[in-house]
Amino acid sequence: MKRSSGILLHITSLPGKYGIGTMGQEAFNFVNYLVESGQKLWQILPLGHTGYGDSPYQCYSAFAGNPLLIDLDKLVQEGLLKTNDLPDNIYFDDENVDYGKVHNVKYPLLHKAYENHTKNPNRLRSVKFDNFCHKNHKWLDDYAFFMALKKHFKGVAWTQWENDIKFKKPDSINYYREHLSDDINYYRFVQFLFYKQWLELKAYANLNEIKIIGDIPLFVAFDSSDAWAHPDLFDFDAHLNPINVAGVPPDYFSETGQLWGNPLYNWERLKETGYQWWIDRIEASFTLYDTLRIDHYRGLAAYWAVPFGEETAINGQWIEAPGGEMIQTVLDALGELDIIAEDLGVITPDVVELRERFGFPGMKIIQFAFDSGEENDFMPHTYDKNFVVYTGTHDNDTSLGQYKSSSEKDKKHMSEYFCVDKSDPAWSYVKLAWSTVADVALAPMQDFLRLDTDARMNYPGKASGNWRWRYTKDKLTPELAEELFKITRLYGR
């Protein structure tokens, strides 16, 4: 990767009138701000259709986009909604996403847009919609059917559906496809709207020499169209219950580990299919992004398997994965790809080898360097070029919050060895990241805005209350753009 820098900011955190950031005008304004401040990269979190807990790392599909990110004003411009359809008497918090309220307001309007499409067909849009459905049928048909069934069964997980449809008996499939045909088409149409708006935004970013770094979770959610449609690809028993589930052992974030609960892959079956599901997934991801960060990359070398039913992740075991063979198969099918390996956590030599074998850049976190008690792999002077350095990620405290919670001994260590300015620690972290030899430097928007812990995006292991932070448009000042532009030029990014 070329020497460059950018900002980590999820779409939900953008300003906007209706309670959540979208792919509308404020997203285009943010691209302009990246250009103004001399940045080349915009990293986002997974764009998937979020389920319980609103986590972008637990989605109903590994392919589908989040309908909540669709911009309503654009639907008015396209004639799918009228101005008086939009909410004008509902209070939305400008600094936090209230997902329940956003759900209640937005989904009825998306359905109204679909009804207007069907009642007043526009030939050009109809042809484009048909083309989209044909191009994406491999995942779109399963996803739309799954979501229609989920609505029919009042939102419960697919394992609680009637057995005939849970096990996809042909008669049941045919019955529900006919019975739920309108809902199925609605979910297809919403994905058409999502992809249209996202690809327009991505094209604008690319036109302005901004690359999009996307993010995919290694594992899929248990309650997902992927697990229901392709149970043979996962570690399930004859009753379609997981045998083991994903997590990580006790670590920096949690004394009991993190029990994610995602189904694990049936790697033998994936190998028999020539890893086609992975090829399709990676190919679809590069439709959405220019560069792809694979979250929990270490799980492609070996993954922590926890017996289904355990209450914590303590009683798991490491199981070797054929990630190298899978990646090589994907590269043989798709060609050279820009991939970042998220190699944080318990990193063993096999993980390092798997990353270096393909030349993928790994990750370094500035916040992890500031432990005065021990040497570690995150000391800035130990980096080499083929890394992406972050001040912190979506899983960390903000840099200001991390500094303020540090011991006096560690603060002294930061000051003496890393020149951290106690009057402006967040900006010191940014400058330190930008000054390293690592090819790419990134920081969350919260660190550029010098925000405290209350702006944190996620607490790993905490089931609710995450992914809520937003900034208000007045925060992106010309002064901040100039400040960022200067250090970016100073450090040759």
- Whether the pLDDT of residue 375 is over 70: the answer is no
Q: Which of 342, 343, 397, 439 is catalytic?
A: 342
| Plot region of 192 (φ>0 → left; ψ -120 to 50 → alpha; else → beta) | alpha
Q: Is the pTM of this model over 0.75?
A: yes
- 54-87: pLDDT as tens digits: 999 999 999 999 999 999 999 999 999 999 999 9
Q: CA nearest 145: which of 111, 176, 166, 113?
A: 176
pLDDT at 250: 86
Instruction: State the Cα–Cα distance between residues 447 and 106, nearest whole angstrom.
Output: 30
Q: Which of 54, 295, 397, 447 is catalytic?
A: 295
Instruction: State the Cα–Cα distance between residues 333 and 154, nearest whole angstrom.
Output: 40
Instruction: State the Cα–Cα distance between residues 62 and 139, nearest whole angstrom.
Output: 9
- Whether the pLDDT of residue 372 is over 70: the answer is no
Instruction: State the Cα–Cα distance between residues 198 and 212, nearest whole angstrom.
Output: 11
pLDDT at 371: 73
> What is the chain's percent helix, strand, coil content, to nearest 5?
50, 15, 40
Exposure letters 230-263 (e unless 16+ CB within 10 A, then b): bbebbbbeeebebebbbbbbeeeebeebbbbbbb
Instruction: State the Cα–Cα distance between residues 231 and 211, nearest whole angstrom.
Output: 35
Provide mean pLDDT across the span 422-437. Answer: 97
H helices present in 359-476, as ranges? 399-405, 408-418, 425-435, 445-448
Q: Is 134 exposed, middle or buried (0-12, 13-18, 19+ CB in 10 A)?
A: exposed
Tell me if residue 454 is catalytic: no
pLDDT at 377: 81
- 210-223: pLDDT as tens digits: 999 999 999 999 99
pLDDT at 290: 98
DSSP state of 233: G
- 35-54: pLDDT as tens digits: 999 999 999 999 999 998 89
Q: CATH for 4-490, among 3.20.20.80, 3.40.50.300, 3.40.50.2300, 3.40.190.10? A: 3.20.20.80
Instruction: State the Cα–Cα distance between residues 66 and 97, nearest whole angstrom.
Output: 14
The confidence band for 89, taking pLDDT boundaries of 50, 70 and 90, is confident
pLDDT at 66: 98
Instruction: State the Cα–Cα distance between residues 336 and 134, nearest whole angstrom.
Output: 26
Average pLDDT taken over every residue of the chain = 96
Who wins on pLDDT, 424 or 257?
424
Instruction: State the Cα–Cα distance between residues 388 and 385, nearest whole angstrom.
Output: 8
pLDDT at 370: 86
- Delimit the domains of the chain by residue range: 4-490
Structure tokens at 477: 């000042």
- 105-155: pLDDT as tens digits: 999 999 999 999 999 989 999 999 999 999 999 999 999 999 999 999 999
Q: Which of 395, 397, 439, 447 is catalytic?
A: 395
Give me the percent of the chain exceeding a pLDDT of 70: 99
Contacts of 84 (CB under 8 A, 6+ apart): none
- 325-361: pLDDT as tens digits: 999 999 999 999 999 999 998 789 999 999 999 999 9
Tell me if residue 395 is catalytic: yes
CA atoms within 13 A on the CB side of 428: 19
The amino acid present at 465, given as its one-letter code, is G
Residues 194, 65 contacting (CB under 8 angstroms): yes
CA atoms within 13 A on the CB side of 136: 28
Give me the percent of the chain exceeding a pLDDT of 90: 91
CA 85 from chain centre, in angstroms, equals 30
- Whether the pLDDT of residue 191 is over 80: the answer is yes
Q: Cα angle at 241 between 238 and 245, to 5 degrees? A: 125
Instruction: Write out the E strands in 336-467.
Output: 339-341, 362-365, 387-390, 440-444
- 377-410: pLDDT as tens digits: 888 988 999 999 999 999 999 999 999 999 999 9
Provide mean pLDDT across the span 486-492. Answer: 98
Instruction: Write out the E strands in 359-459.
Output: 362-365, 387-390, 440-444
Provide mean pLDDT across the span 278-284. Answer: 98
Provide mean pLDDT across the span 268-285. Answer: 98
The confidence band for 374, taking pLDDT boundaries of 50, 70 and 90, is low
Who wins on pLDDT, 469 or 372?
469
Tell me if residue 142 is catalytic: no
In which residue are the tokens 């030899």 written? 437
Three-state secondary-structure class, residue 115: helix
Q: What is the DSSP string of 269-313?
A: HHHHTTTHHHHHHHHHHHHH-SEEEETTGGGGTEEEEEETT-SSS
